[in-house]
Amino acid sequence: MLALGALLLTSAFSSHRTALRADLESTAGRMLWVFLPYAVLVLTNLALRLIPSTDIRSATSVLMLGPLTAMRPVVMGAGVLFGISASKLPETRFLGVFILGLMLALEFALNRRAARAQAIEIRRLV
């Protein structure tokens, strides 16, 4: 909702809406060059886990999914920075950095929540 609100406000107060829309579309297209290969890697490894083999599941977790999860904040930053690097309008750059901040904040919050849930589960078991 915050991202949508920022987009709508930026568009509403922009004096060059058509250029802003084209710049945002171009920026989003550039971001896909980073985000799509990452998504393909993750989905491919998740698909490999459908094979009923403990060895393959363990290997995908240790060799790919673990490192890909650790790299996720870097991929977020690289994707947004690559996208906004060719943008022509400051509004596009602002929105990109704002959205990156939201993505990283959500990543941090979800990691904290998962860590707390895991700690509670471990205390319950021990």
State pTM to two decimals.
Answer: 0.85
What distance in Å separates the CA atoms of residue 90 and residue 10, rounded to the nearest whole number? 11
What distance in Å separates the CA atoms of residue 93 and residue 80, rounded to the nearest whole number? 9
If you average pLDDT over residues 54-66, what whole number do you get? 90
If you average pLDDT over residues 63-73, what whole number do you get? 93
The tens digit of pLDDT for each residue in 9-30 reads 999 998 899 999 999 999 999 9
